[in-house]
Structure 1
Amino acid sequence: MKLSKKLILLGIIPTIIFTLISFFYLIPETKKSIYAEKDIQIRTNVDGAYSIVSYYYSLSQTGALTDQEAQAQAKEITSKMRYGEGGYYWIDDINYINLMHAVNPKIVGTNRAAERDKRDVLFIKRFIDGAVQNKSEGFYSNFWFPKPNETDASEKRGYSKHFEPWGWIVSTGIYIDDVDTIVQKQITAIIVINTTLMLVTFMFTYWFSRKKIVQPLENVISKLGEMANSGGDLTQKIIIDSNDELGQLASVVNSLLNSMRQLIRQISQTSEQVAAAAEELTANAEQSAKATTQVAEIITEVAAGAEKQVNAVDATVAVVEQVSAGVQQVAASANAVSGKAEMTAAAANEGDKALNAAMSQMDSIERTVSGSAQVVMKLGERSKEIGQIVDTISGIAGQTNLLALNAAIEAARAGEHGRGFAVVAEEVRKLAEQSQEAAKQIATLISEIQAETDNAVVAMSDGTREVKAGADVVNDAGKAFKEIVLLIGEVSSQVREISAAIQQMASGSQQIVSSVRDIDRISKDAAGQTQTVSAATEEQAASMEEIAASSQELARMAEELQGTIKKFRV
C-alpha cells in the first residue's frame, strides 16, 4: 500500500472510531437520558395529583369536609387536570376498581384486574400491585394503549403511586414512541455529519499528503535512483524546502552523500597506499624467507651440538651420583661411630658416677664401723659397770637372807606373837634368795657379753682396716675412670667433627648432583628448544613464502579496488 493511501486511511480512522462510539455509546446513552426525562415528567405530574388528593384528605380530617365530599372533589379536580399533549390521570382502588378516568368515564366502577394490552400483559393489575408494594417510591411500568382516535396501540410509559389513607392508586402515562423518532433523527444527523467530515478529511488528507509528504519523498527516491542508475554519481544534492522531518531527512541524506564522497576519496588514497605497501611487503617477505632459511641451518647445527652436550652431561650425572652415594655411606658410618662414641662416653660417665657413689658408700661404711667399734667398746665398759652393780646386788641379797634368817629365829622365840612376823621374814628370805640367784644369772650374762664385746671390738678393728683399704682401691679406680671419661670425650668430639665434615661433604655432593641434574635438564631443554626453534624457523620460512604470495594477491586486489573507486564521481 502506498504512503498516500496509508495517510488517507490514518485520517479517516478517527472519524470511523467516532462514528462507532456514537452508535454504540452516545446513542444508547441519549436514549437512556430521554427515558429518564420521561420518568421524571410523569412522576412529577403524579406527585401534583397526589398532593391534591392529600389536600382534600386533610380537609376531611379537619372536619371542613366529609370523606365523601373530599373524595368527590379530589376526583373532580384530578379528572380535569391535563399536561403536555393529551396527558391525563386515572384513579383505581387496591381492589382494581376504577374510581376516576379523565378521558373514559364509562369504565368508572368496573374491575380492571383482567384488562390486558396488545402484548397480553395485565398492565392495570401490575400498576396497582406495584404501587402497593412500593408505597413511598411508586411504580414504573411500560404498556401498550391506543392514542385518541386510533385503534392501533402505541407503547406508553406509566407511573402509579399509592395514597394509603383512602386506598387509592393515582396513575398517569405518556407515549414514548416519539423516543425512537428522536433517536432516529440523531442517528441521521450523526451519519450526515460523519460522512461530511469523512469526505472533508479524505480530501484534505489527500492534498496535504501529496503536497507535503509524498512529493518530497518521491523527489528523494528519484534522486537516489539516479545515483544508483548512474553507476556511482555522488555529486547530486537533494533539495526540499521544508523544516519538518522530510527536510531533516533530506539534510541527513545530503550529509550521508557528503560522508560517502569523503569515504570514497579516503578509500582511493588508502588503496594506492595499500598497493605500494603490498609491493614493499612482497620484497621484504622474500628477503625474510632467505634469512629464515639461513637461520634454520644454523639452528640445526646448534641442535646437534646440544645433543652432544646432553650426552656428556648425562655421563657426568652418573659419576657425580656415584660419588654422592659413597659420601653418603661414609657419612652413615661416621654417624654410627659418633653414636658408639657417645654411648661409650655415656657408659664411662655412668661408671664414674658409680665409683663416686661407691667411694661415698665406703666412706660411710668406714665412719659407721668406727662408730660401731666405739659403741662396742663403750658397751664393754658399761658391762663391767653392770657386773660391779650385780655384785653389789648379790651382796645385798646375801645380807638380806641372813637378816631374814635372824628375824625368823627371833620370831620363833617370840611364839604366837611372832608368828606373823615369822611369815614375813620367811617371804623376805625367799625374795632374797631369788634376788641372789638372779644376780648370779646376770653376772653370767654380763661375763658372756663382755667376751662377745671384746670379740666385736677386734672384728670392728679388722673391718675398719679393710674398709680403708677398699676405699683406697675405689679412689684409684675413680681416678682411672675420670681419665677414661676425658679420653672418650676427646674421641667423641673428634668423631663429631669428622661426622659434621662428612655431612657437609654429603650436602655439597647433593648440591653438586642437583646442579649437574639442573645442567642436564637445562641442556635437554635447550636441545628441545633448539629443535623447536629449528622447526619454527622452517615454518616461518614457509609462512614468509605464503606472506609473499598473499602480498602479491593484496597488490592485485588493491589495483582492482582502485579501478572500482574510479567509477564514482565525487
Structure 2
Amino acid sequence: MKKNKANRIRRNLILTFLLVLLVPSFTIGFVTYRDAKGTIEDEILRSASLSVDTANEFINDTLQSKLYDLDYFSGKLKSVGIDTELAAQGTTTVQSLKEYLQLHPETVEVFVATEEGGFIKASEGKLAQGYDHKQSGWYQQAMNAAGKPIITAPYTSKAGSLIVITMAKMLPDGRGVVGVDLNLHSIRDLVQVKVGKEGYTFVLDQDGKYLFHPDYEAGADALAEGDWVSKLYEKPAGEISYQHDGMDKRLSYITNEQTGWVIAGTMLVKEVEDSVYGIRNTMILVLLVSLLAASVLITWNVRSIIKPIRQLREATEVISEGDLTYHLKDFKRDEVGELAGHFQQMVDSLREMVHGVKSMTENVSASSEQLSASALQNTSAVEHVTSSIQEVAAGSESQLLAAEEILKRIHQVSRHADDIAGVLVKVAGAMDQTEQLALNGNKTVITAAATMQDMDMAMNDLNGVIQQLSERTEEIGGIAAAITDIAKQTSLLSLNASIEAARAGEQGKGFAVVAAEIRKLAQRSETSAAYITGLITNVLDNVGQTIQVMESAKEKVSDGVDSADLTGRSFSRIMKAIHSVSGQVKTTSDQAKELAEGTTAARIAVEEIREISEQTSSQTQTISAASEEQLASMEEVTASAADLSQLAEELQEMVKRFKI
C-alpha cells in the first residue's frame, strides 16, 4: 500500500509535468495551424476576388469602348443620308463600317438600320430573304431606350461557333439604329484565369447560363447545378460556400452593372488544407522532439524528488515501531534535506517528551488514588445535606399550597363583599327615591282629597240649581197650558165672528177676513203651545234623570273623599316605614364596605405570605438542585479519579513501548 502511494506521487508529478508541457504546446500548435489555414484561405479568396474584379473591369472597358464607338457612329450617321445612299447605291458608309470591322477583330459585325427599311452592314454576307430588322429584338430595344445604348443577352451566331452580344443605340433623329455585334470569345482568355492551383473564374449571364467556364459550353444552364447558383443573384457581390461534384468549394463573385452578368472566382477548400499540410507536419515534429526532451528532464526531476521521500518513509516506519533512537543522514542541502533535519528535531523532542510523560504518569497514578478517596467522603456528606434540603422544600411547597388556597377563599369573600356593598348602595338609592315618591304621593292625595271636597260642595250647589230649574220648567208648562186654552178660545171666537160675518152679508165680508186671520193665528198659537209643552215635558224628564245622576255622583264623590283621606293616612305610614328601612340599609352598606376593606387587607397579607413561601420554596429548590449537582459532580469526580488512575496505568504501558 505504501509503495502504491509512493508510485502515486511519482505518477502525479509525471502527469503534471506532461500537462504543463503538452497543453501549451498543443494549444500554440492548434492556434498557429488555424491562423495559418485562415490566412491562406483569405489570401486565395483575396486572389479570387482580385481576379473577379480584374475580369469585371476588363468587361467594362471592352463594353465601354464599344459604347464610345456607338456614340461616334450615332453622331455621324443620319437615317436620311443612309436611305439616300442606299437609293443611290453609294458606298461611303459601307466603306467606313468595313474599315472599323478590320481595325477591331473582336467585332463580328457593325451595321446601321433605318425606319424606312434601309440596312447597311460591314460584312459581305447577304441577309436572309424576307429579313425585317424592325422585328429584331435589338432594334425594338434601342428604339424604346430613348437614345440610351442597349446590350442584348448573349446568343449564338448564325454560324453556330460564336457567342455574341449586340450593342445598339438609336440615331439622334430617332429614325434609325446603329449597332455592333461583339464576339465574347475574344475576351474569354482575358476573363478566365486560375485561382490558386486548381481554382478558376467563370461568367454567368443574366439568365443563369454559362458564358465562360472551363468545363461547360457557353449557353449551358447553370441553375441545374444546384441552389448555390441562385444565391449568386440575390446580392450584387459576396462570398459563399457550396459543394460541386462532391467537393467543398468557396467562391467570390460580383455582378456587372452594365450587363447583369455574374463574374465569379472559385477554389477548392482542400487546396487550403494541402497548403497548410507542411505547417501541420512541422508542428507535429516539433511537439514530438519537445516531448522526448521533456521526458528526460521529467524523469531526472521525479527521481530527485522521490528518492529522499523514500528515505523519509523508511525512517518513519522505524520510528512508528517505537524506536526513537533512529538518526536521519545522507540528505542533500535542498528543501527535502531541510524537511529531514526538522523531522530529526521532532524525533528528538518526542523522545524527551516521552521520557517526561513516563515520570508524570507515575505521579498522576498516586494522585488519582488520593482524589478518589476524598471524593467518596465528600459524596457521603453531600447526600446527607441533599436529603435535609429536600424535606425543607417539601414543607415549603405544602405551605405555599395552603397560602394559595386561603388567598382563593379571601378573593371570593372580597368579591362577595364588594357585590353586597354595591347592591346595598343601589338599594339605598332606590329607598331614597321611594321615600321621595311616597312624599310626592302623599301631597297628591291631600290635593285630591281637597279637590273631592270641593266637588262635593259643587255637586250640592248644582243639585239646588237643578231643582230650581225643574220648578221653573213646571211653571213654564203651566204658562204653555194657559196659552193653549187662550188659543182654543180665540179660535172659537173667530169661528163665531165668521158666522156673524156670514150673516151680515156684504157688510160683514171684511170682518170675515179678519176673523179668518184671527182663527189662523189662534191655530198657530195652539200649535206652538203644544210644541212648547212637548219640549217642557222632555226637559222635565232630562232634569229628573240629571237629578238621579247627581245623587249617584254625590254619593261617589263622598266615597272618594273618604278613600282619599284613607290613602293619605296610608302614605304617611309608608313614609315612616321607608325612612326607617333607608337608615338600616345605609348602616348595612357602611358595614359591607368595612368588610370589603378588611378582606382586601387580609388578601394583601396572604399574598405577602404566599410570596414569602414561593421565595422559600424556590430557594430550597435551588439549594436542592445545587446539592444534587454537587452530588453528581462528586460522583463524576470519583468516576474521573478512577478513570484517571486507569488511564495513568495505560499510559505507563504505552510509554514502555518506546525505546529512549
With the shorter chain as reference, the TM-score category is 0.5 to 0.7
- Equivalent AA in structure 2 for residue 477 of structure 1: S
2:20 is the alignment partner of 1:20: no
1:536, distance to aligned residue in structure 2 (A): 3.7
With over 3 angstroms needed to count, the CA separation of the structure-2 counterparts of 1:324 and 1:177, relative to structure 1, is closer
Q: Is contact 1:160–1:170 with CA below 8 Å preserved after alignment?
A: yes
Q: Deviations over 1:29-74 (max 9, x none)?
A: 2430452265147426734873686488558726696454234323
1:307, distance to aligned residue in structure 2 (A): 0.9
Q: Is contact 2:152–2:165 with CA below 8 Å preserved after alignment?
A: yes
1:489, distance to aligned residue in structure 2 (A): 2.0
Q: 2:392 aligns with which of 288, 291, 305?
A: 305
Q: 1:380 aligns with which of 467, 481, 486?
A: 467
Quote the Cα distance in structure 2 between the aligned partners of 1:323 and 1:548. 57
Q: Which residue of 2 aligns with 1:43?
A: 59
Quote the Cα distance in structure 2 between the aligned partners of 1:553 and 1:160. 120
Structural mapping, 1:83-162, within 5 Å? 89=106, 91=108, 136=151, 161-162=165-166
Structural mapping, 1:163-174, within 5 Å? 163-164=167-168, 165-166=178-179, 168-171=181-184, 172=186, 173-174=188-189
TM-score (norm 2): 0.48
- Equivalent AA in structure 1 for residue 166 of structure 2: H
Q: Is contact 1:323–1:509 with CA below 8 Å preserved after alignment?
A: yes
Q: Which residue of 1 aligns with 2:455?
A: 368
**Aligned with 1:168: secondary structure?**
strand
- Equivalent AA in structure 2 for residue 485 of structure 1: I
Deviates more, 1:161-170 or 1:439-448: 439-448
TM-score (norm 1): 0.53
Q: Which residue of 2 aligns with 1:481?
A: 574
Q: Which residue of 2 aligns with 1:70?
A: 96
Q: Deviations over 1:306-344 (max 9, x none)?
A: 112223433455566567667878888898999999888
- Equivalent AA in structure 2 for residue 43 of structure 1: I
Q: Which residue of 2 aligns with 1:491?
A: 584
With over 3 angstroms needed to count, the CA separation of the structure-2 counterparts of 1:196 and 1:159, relative to structure 1, is farther
1:363, distance to aligned residue in structure 2 (A): 3.4
Q: Deviations over 1:244-298 (max 9, x none)?
A: xxxxxxxxxxxxx9xx9xxx9xxxxxx9xxx9xxx9xx99x99999989977764
With over 3 angstroms needed to count, the CA separation of the structure-2 counterparts of 1:408 and 1:329, relative to structure 1, is same
Deviates more, 1:455-464 or 1:11-20: 455-464
Q: Where does structure 1 lack aligned partners over 5 or more consecutive residues?
A: 80-88, 102-107, 110-133, 141-157, 239-256, 265-270, 556-570
- Equivalent AA in structure 1 for residue 99 of structure 2: Q
Quote the Cα distance in structure 2 between the aligned partners of 1:179 and 1:336. 126
Quote the Cα distance in structure 1 between the aligned partners of 2:595 and 2:96. 154
- Equivalent AA in structure 1 for residue 95 of structure 2: E
1:477, distance to aligned residue in structure 2 (A): 1.7
Structural mapping, 1:174-185, within 5 Å? 174=189, 180=196
- Equivalent AA in structure 1 for residue 37 of structure 2: L
Q: Which residue of 1 aligns with 2:47?
A: 31
Q: Deviations over 1:139-163 (max 9, x none)?
A: 79xxxxxxxxxxxxxxxxx996533
Quote the Cα distance in structure 2 between the aligned partners of 1:159 and 1:291. 130
**Aligned with 1:370: secondary structure?**
helix
Deviates more, 1:470-479 or 1:169-178: 169-178
Quote the Cα distance in structure 1 between the aligned partners of 2:101 and 2:534. 182
Structural mapping, 1:223-372, within 5 Å? 298-318=385-405, 358-372=445-459
Bigger proportion of residues as helix: 1
- Equivalent AA in structure 2 for residue 362 of structure 1: A
Quote the Cα distance in structure 2 between the aligned partners of 1:516 and 1:547. 45
Quote the Cα distance in structure 2 between the aligned partners of 1:344 and 1:437. 71
Quote the Cα distance in structure 1 between the aligned partners of 2:24 and 2:639. 61
- Equivalent AA in structure 1 for residue 449 of structure 2: M
1:447, distance to aligned residue in structure 2 (A): 8.2
Q: Is contact 1:386–1:446 with CA below 8 Å preserved after alignment?
A: yes
- The number of equivalent residue pairs is 466
Q: Is contact 2:98–2:122 with CA below 8 Å preserved after alignment?
A: no
Quote the Cα distance in structure 2 between the aligned partners of 1:422 and 1:139. 169
Structural mapping, 1:490-569, within 5 Å? 490-501=583-594, 532-541=625-634
1:483, distance to aligned residue in structure 2 (A): 0.9
Q: Is contact 1:327–1:506 with CA below 8 Å preserved after alignment?
A: yes
- Equivalent AA in structure 1 for residue 574 of structure 2: F
Q: Which residue of 2 aligns with 1:412?
A: 499
Q: Deviations over 1:345-368 (max 9, x none)?
A: 888877776665554443333222
With over 3 angstroms needed to count, the CA separation of the structure-2 counterparts of 1:358 and 1:305, relative to structure 1, is same
- When the two chains are superposed, the root-mean-square deviation of aligned CA atoms in Å is 7.1
1:15, distance to aligned residue in structure 2 (A): 3.8
Quote the Cα distance in structure 1 between the aligned partners of 2:621 and 2:100. 135
- Equivalent AA in structure 1 for residue 182 of structure 2: I
**Aligned with 1:174: secondary structure?**
helix
With over 3 angstroms needed to count, the CA separation of the structure-2 counterparts of 1:442 and 1:289, relative to structure 1, is same
Q: Deviations over 1:148-204 (max 9, x none)?
A: xxxxxxxxxx996533444623232327676556999x99998799799989x99xx
With over 3 angstroms needed to count, the CA separation of the structure-2 counterparts of 1:5 and 1:408, relative to structure 1, is closer
With over 3 angstroms needed to count, the CA separation of the structure-2 counterparts of 1:160 and 1:14, relative to structure 1, is farther
With over 3 angstroms needed to count, the CA separation of the structure-2 counterparts of 1:72 and 1:544, relative to structure 1, is farther
Q: Is contact 2:495–2:515 with CA below 8 Å preserved after alignment?
A: yes
- Equivalent AA in structure 1 for residue 569 of structure 2: D
Q: Is contact 2:110–2:122 with CA below 8 Å preserved after alignment?
A: no
With over 3 angstroms needed to count, the CA separation of the structure-2 counterparts of 1:288 and 1:389, relative to structure 1, is farther
Deviates more, 1:53-62 or 1:163-172: 53-62
Q: Is contact 2:459–2:554 with CA below 8 Å preserved after alignment?
A: no
Q: Where does structure 2 lack aligned partners over 5 or more consecutive residues?
A: 1-17, 83-90, 112-120, 126-148, 156-161, 169-177, 200-266, 317-327, 347-352, 358-362, 649-660
Quote the Cα distance in structure 2 between the aligned partners of 1:515 and 1:432. 116
1:384, distance to aligned residue in structure 2 (A): 3.9
Quote the Cα distance in structure 1 between the aligned partners of 2:375 and 2:637. 7
Quote the Cα distance in structure 2 between the aligned partners of 1:474 and 1:78. 165
